[in-house]
Structure 1
Amino acid sequence: MKRILCFAMFMSIGIISLQAQTDVETVTDDMIEKVKTGGFKIGADIGFPLSGTSDISSFNFGFYGTYLFEVVDNLEVGGLIAYTHFSGDGYYYRYHPSDGTTTRVNNDSNSFLPIAATGRYHFMDHSFFAGLDLGFAVNVSGDADTGMLFRPKFGYNLGMINLIASFQVITAEVKRPYHPDYVGGAWDVNGFNSFNVGVEYSF
């Protein structure tokens, strides 16, 4: 009797494991098929620096490429790689303790390479969508650190063309050794923020 019970137990475990493996393979196959049905998009935008960013930059522009596929009705996910540039504006003073003098230094332009996961939800028969990019923004020029990217967006679908408005937040910091308004202290720039508008092409 014990042998029969043990045999039945092992058979049950084997059947359950086989079914679970089959289910995983089915889900994996379905996801692969969904990924294959996705599409590429390229876009470009211009931005207007906000908050403290406007103290060091007067203009922002960028472009990107993304691949999106639908996971459930109206919801797309994928990946994004981009380039965004904040033109330098204004200046600060650098203190030289060796001789007690200061030097006026123009603010650097800063460029970033955002690499992010992205998602979009479509509504009103795909006429409008809301989305979010979330990832890293690697500094490739300028004096800023590498930081996180957070970019909510809202778009209007014209077919092959999308019009997009977004709010870009890059948490990269710029450390300043001296500023005349903060004698003896440091003047820091805590992030790069901008409001952007742009156009996107699907193919």
Structure 2
Amino acid sequence: MKRIILSTIAVMTFGFANAQVGHFKVGAHVGLPLGNTSDLFSVNLGADVSYLWNVADKFSAGVTTGYTTYIGKDYTAYIGNVAYEMIRSTNQSFIPVAGTAQYSIADNFFIGADLGYAINVDGDIDGGFLYQPKFGFQTKKIEVYTSYKGISNNGTLSCVNLGFNYKFD
């Protein structure tokens, strides 16, 4: 699975290299863990770097990477109704390697998605399939977006994010 995803990203990179115009984006995001993820982690923080090529009118695609970390929190383990001990979950950090696409649904609004693999670089959870649909507001130089991020591998780390990107042309 990892080879298929990385091969797809490589093909996309070389395929879009022939497109004429592209833009580089750098940004940051903060998120709230959802579901079972919120039992172990208090917040998701990260930085993003992307390069997108204009493929068609209102549509661009490219590659993205960065760094994202889930900050662990204290919780009490229970056996039945008896509190067993206070445990601190460890931080989990990932480097995503993904393809990204974005479609402008209006002059200042877009939808998009990142698909790829998240490589675990700190923590004891394996990496996994990364998916992140997005909806946002954009101007010529900035983007503000909300997204749902999931990293799946025998369970899912999930969160809702608020992000900001600065575009370099």
Q: TM-score range by the shorter chain?
A: 0.7 to 0.9
Q: Which has the higher contact order (CA 8 A, sep 6+)?
A: 2
TM-score, normalised via structure 2 length: 0.81
What corresponds to 1:40 in structure 2?
A: 24
Aligned partner of residue 157 in structure 2, secondary structure? strand
What is the deviation of 1:103? 6.9
Distance 1:31 1:196 in 2: 28
What corresponds to 1:193 in structure 2?
A: 158
| CA shift in 2, pair 1:44/1:31, >3 Å | closer
Per-residue deviation, residues 114-163 of structure 1 (Å, max 9, x unmatched): 110000011222x1110000000011111111101010001101220111
Distance 1:92 1:61 in 2: 24
Decide which structure has the larger Cα Rg and report it. 1
Distance 1:170 1:63 in 2: 16
- Stretches of structure 1 that go unaligned for 5 or more consecutive residues are 1-29, 94-101, 174-189
TM-score, normalised via structure 1 length: 0.68
Aligned partner of residue 130 in structure 1, secondary structure? strand
Q: CA RMSD in A?
A: 1.9
Distance 1:168 1:110 in 2: 14
Which structure shows the higher strand fraction? 2
Distance 1:115 1:168 in 2: 14
Distance 1:50 1:107 in 2: 16
Distance 1:138 1:48 in 2: 20
What corresponds to 1:183 in structure 2?
A: none
| CA shift in 2, pair 1:107/1:119, >3 Å | same
What corresponds to 1:3 in structure 2?
A: none
| CA shift in 2, pair 1:109/1:31, >3 Å | closer
1:74 aligns with 2:58: yes
1:161 aligns with 2:131: no
Distance 1:81 1:104 in 2: 35
| CA shift in 2, pair 1:31/1:47, >3 Å | closer
Which structure shows the higher helix fraction? 1
For these two proteins, the number of residue pairs brought into alignment is 148
What is the deviation of 1:70? 1.2
What is the deviation of 1:37? 1.7
What is the deviation of 1:72? 1.3
Identity score, percent: 37
Distance 1:159 1:147 in 2: 33
What corresponds to 1:149 in structure 2?
A: 130
Are the equivalent residues in 1 in contact too, given 2:26–2:48 (CA < 8 A)? yes
Distance 1:31 1:47 in 2: 31
Are the equivalent residues in 2 in contact too, given 1:55–1:90 (CA < 8 A)? no
What corresponds to 1:89 in structure 2?
A: 73
- Stretches of structure 2 that go unaligned for 5 or more consecutive residues are 1-14, 78-83
Aligned partner of residue 164 in structure 1, secondary structure? strand
Distance 2:31 2:50 in 1: 19
Distance 1:87 1:161 in 2: 27
